[in-house]
Amino acid sequence: MAVYTDVSFEELNSLLADYDIGEPQTFKGIAEGVENSNFYLQTDRGAYILTLYEKRVHAEDLPYFLGLMTHLAEHGIACPLPVRSKSGAYSTELRGRPAALLTFLNGVSLRKPEVENCRAAGDALARVHAASKNFALKRKNALSLAGWQSLAEQTREKASTVQSDLEKLILETLSELSAWPHDLPEGVIHADLFPDNVLFLDGKVSGLIDFYFACNDALAYDIAIMLNAWCFEGDGAFNMTKSKALLSAYQARRSLTKKEIEALPLLARGAALRFLLTRLYDWLNPDPSAFVRPKDPRDYIKRLRFHRNIQTAAEYGL
C-alpha cells in the first residue's frame, strides 16, 4: 500500500498543463510498490502512472532509473515508459517531491507463481540483461556488502527479539560473504524482480515494473535474488522444479559462466541476507506515517538457512 503524499485533481491538472497526454478521466491513488506514492491516471489517450518519489528514491538517481526504462522500452522490454514533458523533461516536481509520469501496463502480479510463470520470469530477466547491455549510465548497488554490514550494525541489538539466534546467523553469514566474488560478468540488474514486479496477461509476461533498485552489479546476483523470490513455497520449502524452470529459461538466452555457477550458492545467501536485513530493519523501525505493513523478515531467515546448507549450484537444479 503506498500513497504517502496526497495529490488533488487540481494539482494533477496543473501538472498536466506541461504534458501532451490528453484530458484526465480517472485519477486514483493505488497500491503499487512500497517506497513511493503512486496514482493511476487515465486520459482520453491512454493510461499512466504518476509517481511521486518519497525519501528512499533520490532525485539524483532519477536520470538512471528513468533513462534505463526508456532504454529498455526502446529495446523491446515491456516496462513503463517515462513520458517527457512538453519541454522534454523526464521528471518534474509535485508537492515538493520529484515526480514522473510513466505509461501504465496491463497485467496482474501473482502471489503464488507456478512453474510456467517462473520459466517466463527467468526468460524476462535474461531479456533485461541483454537489452540493457549498451545503457550508458552507471549506478552503484547501494544495497551490497557494505550496505548489509551497516544494516547488520543497525539491527543487531534488537535482532534477538525476532529470533533468538538471529544476530549470530547474520554475523556468521556476513563473515562467509567476505568471499564475495568480484570478477563475475556485470551489467544492469533489476535487483528487485519479485513476483510483485512482473505482470502477467494470459500466462505471458506483459510487463516488468519498479526499476527503483536497478544498478550495475553482477548479473548472476539478479538470478540469485529471483531464486529467493520465486522458488520457495509459502511454507518456506524450496521448489527445485521452479528453480530449474527459471534457470533454464535464463540460460536459454545467456549461459552462465563456470565462475557464476560456482558462485551461485554464495550469491543466493547474499541475496537472502539482503532482503532479511532490509525487512528486519523496517520491522524493527516501523514508520508510522508509511501506511505500509512491514514485511515479516522470518521468511528470509528460513531462506538464508536453506542456502547456507547448499554446497553446489547443482542443488538449485543447475
Interface residues with its own copies (CB under 8 A)?
1, 3, 8-12, 23-32, 40, 42, 104, 106-112, 201-202, 288, 291-292
Compute the least distance from the CB of residue 206 to its own copies, in Å.
8
Q: Give the nearer residue to its own copies in terms of CB position, either 31 or 146.
A: 31
Q: Give the nearer residue to its own copies in terms of CB position, either 163 or 206.
A: 206
Q: Which of 119, 117, 122 is nearest to 107 (CA)?
A: 117
Q: Give the nearer residue to its own copies in terms of CB position, either 110 or 318.
A: 110
On whether the CB atoms of residues 113 and 195 are closer than 8 A, the answer is: yes
Q: Give the nearer residue to its own copies in terms of CB position, either 31 or 59.
A: 31
Cell of 149: 554490514
Give CA–CA dist 67/82, Å, rounded: 8
On whether the CB atoms of residues 79 and 205 are closer than 8 A, the answer is: no
Give CA–CA dist 237/241, Å, rounded: 12
Cell of 58: 533520490
Compute the least distance from the CB of residue 47 to its own copies, in Å.
8
Compute the least distance from the CB of residue 217 to its own copies, in Å.
30
Give CA–CA dist 69/105, Å, rounded: 13
Q: Give the nearer residue to its own copies in terms of CB position, either 17 or 136.
A: 17
Cell of 136: 550508458
Q: Is 229 helix (H, G, I), strand (E, B) or coil?
A: helix
Compute the least distance from the CB of residue 26 to its own copies, in Å.
5
Compute the least distance from the CB of residue 112 to its own copies, in Å.
6
Compute the least distance from the CB of residue 38 to its own copies, in Å.
9
Q: Which of 8, 13, 96, 88 is nearest to 52 (CA)?
A: 96
Q: Give the nearer residue to its own copies in terms of CB position, either 71 or 279.
A: 279
Give CA–CA dist 118/141, Å, rounded: 25
59 CB burial (10 A radius; 0-12, 13-18, 19+): exposed
Compute the least distance from the CB of residue 58 to its own copies, in Å.
24
In angstroms, the Cα distances linking 63 to 57, 67, 266 are 12, 5, 32
Q: Give the nearer residue to its own copies in terms of CB position, either 27 or 250.
A: 27
